[in-house]
Structure 1
Amino acid sequence: DWALRNYPVGERDRKRVSDAMQAAFLTRPSWEWEAIFGAAKAPASAQRSSREWLADPHALASGLVLTVDDPHHGPMRQLGNLAWLLGDAGAMDKRPSPVADEFRADLPTLLSEAPRAAPQGDGTGGWLDGLCVVDLTNVIAGPTIGATLARFGAKVTSVQPVSPSVDPWNAIVFGLHAHRGKDSVLLDLGSAAGRAALERLIAGADVVTMNGTDEQRDALGLSPQRLAALNPRAILVQLDAWGGPLRGPKSDHLGYDDLAQAATGVMVRFGGGPDTPEEHAHFGTIDALTGYAACVALGAALERRSLTGKGGVARAALAGCGAMIQAQFMYDFAGRAPFDEPTGRQARGWGPFYHCYHAADGWLFLAAPTERAAALARVPELADLAERDQDGLTEALAERFATYPIAHWQARFADGQASVVPLGSLSANRDANLHHESNGPAEIRQATYRAIRHDRHPMGRWVDLVAPNAVRPDRAAITIPGHAPKPGAQTRAILSRIGLTEAEITAMINDGTAAEGWSEKYLPE
């Protein structure tokens, strides 16, 4: 019952504790509990719909939701930035989408400008070769930043506590993917020696990454002013749950992926309504996306540094990315149509032309949102349905699609803009694109997706991980990051690199201000 420490309540006591908690929660409204938990630094969020998030006081105050003066609809609330730089007023200055020919008068000037030459690489190095990163993150979202940068040549040093701050599931299992390509040092940052070692690391770094609130950032000694004093060129990449370009009432509340799902409407949408909210997967629905958004913010910060020579703070937040994965619905204005899009597990699409259907040999998805009836007219078996009213069309198409296998329908829809694809699964995609590490380097430049079975992993077991195929530069190298190190495996080497003597390193390890591991084995038994 205690193996993962995520769910420490034994089976016998779960109902008793759950009933007692439910009785307590019924004594106050959800928003009041949210404030109580937030003030106590305990992660919690009220369940909201997407529309409620667009009107949420914190979302509006922090800039996670912005009001834009739309030329057609008037004041419109929309999702804010996914990535921004601290202090950049432009993060709050948003223009509406242009009206037809709004910029026609500017075209002669724009077209007369000389073409801008893009930097040319020779393909032998990575985009980020030589970039030095100090990684202070944990779990998924934060570590995703450093693991992504390592793909492109960055040198990443992971700094974690001498004793794990979270359970093995969060500290080790998630790290199998999120801590790839890094070196590891264990330091007690609450001690003078540990703090001094961190400051030496930061003094020689280009980038520092952390997941935490502004309050936690400042307590760690990484306020913008302190960072500039340690290293004026250093860029802090910071992500948290509720931060935005401005401060809001929840800016220093704690949170993680599930809470961002609850607050922004993901759980209500996935569960089918406010009475049946449901978690969308258990790990990383928003986490990984926020890590990538933080990398985008870093790109802007690096460009600014190249122009000004100064570092600063690059930001992203889980709540912003929770809104982003619902971007199609994340707007509201006076007179908007109802928020009545299909929701819940039983939703198979949105209308007959964007829908899952069962063919003779399995499930397929029809995507004809623009061609609509014209797409049906080109298919002999469906042409007679092209003029049919949409009432009952979904049912009629379901009957026709059931008569032939998926390959038949794919061939029928091969011409035009409509498409038919079979419904796949993570396991099937993995098995169809699996490469064994023991068979040599994987080819990752010629495919959108590959998985690698790391059957030479230092933990002594094999593990399947996604290969870094998503971004493949034409004129730069990309590497498959090395295995996530056993925590503390490089402690001595890293401390030596920043100038400590062997005697000083040994003294730190002996007094507990540094460590070479959390357990004897890579993964606790």
Structure 2
Amino acid sequence: MEQEHAADGPLAGVTVLEVGVFMAGPFATMQLADLGARVIKVENPAGPDPTRSTGPFLDGPGSQRHSSPFLRLNRNKESVALDLKSDAGRAAFLRLVAGADVLVENLRPGALRRLGLGPDELAQLNPGLVYASASGFGQDGPLAALPGLDIMAQARAGLMSITGSPDGDPVKVGVPICDLVSGLYTALAVTAALLHRDQPHGDGRGQQVDVSLLESGVSLAVWEAGTYFATGQVGRPLGSAHQTQAPYQAVRCADGWVTVGAITPKTWDGLCAALDLPHLHADPRYADSSGRHAHRTELIAAIEHATTARDTAGVVAALEAAGVPCAPINDYGQVFTDAHLAERDFFWDAEHPDLGPVRQLGSPMRLSGTAARRGGAGPVLGADSRAVLGEVGYSDAEIDALLGTMAR
């Protein structure tokens, strides 16, 4: 397929088909689209991506309503409406596959296989296709058939066992971390598979990519694995505290909280000087980070005796002047209006045909020669069906018949 819609990013010339719902698959393809790939999102016209029905909503012309999360999660993509359970829709999808480089899907394992659209069948049609599947628990194993939402993955991956306050109720990470990390792993694996395919030893052949929310979550347990495999000790919730170092956590101030990380000799010296705590600096219990961690309860109480007498701005200013890593705890109202992020042009506006400019979170990937793509907001369902189907050989009459069939 032609790439006239793709930006001149590092993945320009790569065509990605997405059969994605909710978070993991669409987040993976958003990364690829930001990097210049052409992403064609294929949705059932009768049952599209459920994120389209997730509020809050923005009102367009007439009675049209658009999901605000969808507009951001699906930026830089095109939308084609096809019913893959119909013969006509499946045939059209196979034409798209024939010219694609990548398929990303995050349906329940086996869903596309049952439609004759599994990796083996599509590899026969397009041997160079990278077929990437993101799922709750992987494509095989005893848990594979279970529904795998982010919170279930966080629970089974152990994340909820270490998140929150000691002796508190179970708490999940505030963002859907397993969904998001599995999306990032999927995008990374896809780019690796494309690189391998196009190298001489790859013989031009694609491969299957299998990423699970569960394993993505477990992969983050770097400190916990280091402790368990060395000592057998199981991690527990620590609030904001570090697993092995101190002081490295949030401390109270008169009007809020400040996070501090004074774990090196230099930063520990700086903290004691900035907060006028010479008695802590002289205490042999706190001579090194290991000792400070062992006596963390008493240490933090002593530090907070000083910080609660000052406001957050004063504590941050004093610690920054002393070279101590620190930061206030911002809410998202502060984050989305942050002067540093604004100066770096992190937020930007994507155009939408009904809504005009739609504010976007920027891509953290900053490449000096191939900037991240800044195209359109998440597309209207089926907005690109006619153009994309025309590119793969359908006549206007055939497109009318195909789209008419699915509309009934």
- TM-score normalised over the length of structure 2: 0.81
Match of 1:312 among 207, 212, 217: 207
The answer on 1:487 being equivalent to 2:370 is no
Taking the aligned partners of 2:275 and 2:68, their CA distance within structure 1 comes to 52
Taking the aligned partners of 1:380 and 1:172, their CA distance within structure 2 comes to 48
**Structure 1 equivalent of residue 335 of structure 2:** 429
Deviation at 1:339, TM superposition (A): 2.6
The answer on 1:250 being equivalent to 2:143 is yes
Deviation at 1:304, TM superposition (A): 1.0
Taking the aligned partners of 2:315 and 2:362, their CA distance within structure 1 comes to 31
Deviant stretches of 4+, over 6 Å: none
Q: Counterparts in 2 of 1:63-462, with a 5 A limit?
A: 125-165=8-48, 167=50, 168-169=53-54, 172-243=67-138, 247-270=140-163, 272=165, 276-281=169-174, 284-307=176-199, 308=202, 309-330=204-225, 333=228, 336=231, 338-343=233-238, 347-350=239-242, 353-371=247-265, 373-379=268-274, 381-388=276-283, 389=285, 390=295, 392-414=298-320, 418-432=324-338, 447=344, 450-452=346-348, 457-460=352-355
Whether the 8 Å CA contact 2:83–2:90 is kept in 1: the answer is: yes
Match of 1:496 among 375, 380, 390: 390
**Deviations 1:475-505 (CA, angstroms, capped at 9, x unpaired):** 2232213111100111111111111111111
Whether the 8 Å CA contact 1:366–1:418 is kept in 2: the answer is: yes
Match of 2:399 among 505, 516, 525: 505
Report the residue type matching 1:486 in the other structure.
V
Taking the aligned partners of 2:208 and 2:235, their CA distance within structure 1 comes to 39
More helix as a share of residues: 2
Q: 1:288 to 1:380 in 2, by over 3 A?
A: closer
Whether the 8 Å CA contact 1:373–1:387 is kept in 2: the answer is: no
Taking the aligned partners of 1:186 and 1:384, their CA distance within structure 2 comes to 69
Deviation at 1:252, TM superposition (A): 2.9
Q: What secondary structure is seen at the aligned counterpart in 2 of 1:135?
A: strand
Q: 1:330 to 1:274 in 2, by over 3 A?
A: farther
Q: 1:396 to 1:331 in 2, by over 3 A?
A: closer
Taking the aligned partners of 2:271 and 2:171, their CA distance within structure 1 comes to 36
**Deviations 1:364-417 (CA, angstroms, capped at 9, x unpaired):** 111113337544454461222113343622111101112334444445434777
Taking the aligned partners of 2:106 and 2:348, their CA distance within structure 1 comes to 28
Q: 1:300 to 1:462 in 2, by over 3 A?
A: closer
Q: 1:181 to 1:211 in 2, by over 3 A?
A: same
Q: 1:207 to 1:433 in 2, by over 3 A?
A: farther
Q: What secondary structure is seen at the aligned counterpart in 2 of 1:386?
A: helix
Q: 1:416 to 1:299 in 2, by over 3 A?
A: farther
Taking the aligned partners of 1:150 and 1:224, their CA distance within structure 2 comes to 22
Deviation at 1:165, TM superposition (A): 4.9
Taking the aligned partners of 1:476 and 1:453, their CA distance within structure 2 comes to 19
**Deviations 1:104-124 (CA, angstroms, capped at 9, x unpaired):** xxxxxxxxxxxxxxxxxxxx9
Deviation at 1:260, TM superposition (A): 0.5
Whether the 8 Å CA contact 2:161–2:236 is kept in 1: the answer is: no
Taking the aligned partners of 2:254 and 2:164, their CA distance within structure 1 comes to 29
Whether the 8 Å CA contact 1:207–1:234 is kept in 2: the answer is: yes
Whether the 8 Å CA contact 1:433–1:450 is kept in 2: the answer is: no
Unmatched runs of 5 consecutive residues or more in structure 1: 1-123, 436-442, 516-525
Q: 1:400 to 1:330 in 2, by over 3 A?
A: same
Q: What secondary structure is seen at the aligned counterpart in 2 of 1:356?
A: strand
Whether the 8 Å CA contact 1:434–1:453 is kept in 2: the answer is: no
Whether the 8 Å CA contact 1:434–1:452 is kept in 2: the answer is: no
Taking the aligned partners of 1:504 and 1:209, their CA distance within structure 2 comes to 27
**Deviations 1:397-447 (CA, angstroms, capped at 9, x unpaired):** 101112334444445434777412111122211023599xxxxxxx8xx72
Taking the aligned partners of 2:300 and 2:397, their CA distance within structure 1 comes to 75
Report the residue type matching 1:161 in the other structure.
N
Taking the aligned partners of 1:423 and 1:333, their CA distance within structure 2 comes to 30
* Count of matched residue pairs: 373
Taking the aligned partners of 2:95 and 2:21, their CA distance within structure 1 comes to 21
Whether the 8 Å CA contact 1:134–1:156 is kept in 2: the answer is: yes
Whether the 8 Å CA contact 2:260–2:326 is kept in 1: the answer is: yes
**Structure 2 equivalent of residue 33 of structure 1:** none
Q: Percent identity?
A: 27
Q: What secondary structure is seen at the aligned counterpart in 1 of 2:177?
A: coil
**Structure 2 equivalent of residue 476 of structure 1:** 370
Deviates more, 1:386-395 or 1:252-261: 386-395
Deviation at 1:196, TM superposition (A): 0.7
Taking the aligned partners of 2:191 and 2:177, their CA distance within structure 1 comes to 23
Report the residue type matching 1:176 in the other structure.
L
Q: 1:323 to 1:251 in 2, by over 3 A?
A: same
**Deviations 1:55-96 (CA, angstroms, capped at 9, x unpaired):** xxxxxxxxxxxxxxxxxxxxxxxxxxxxxxxxxxxxxxxxxx
Report the residue type matching 1:496 in the other structure.
G
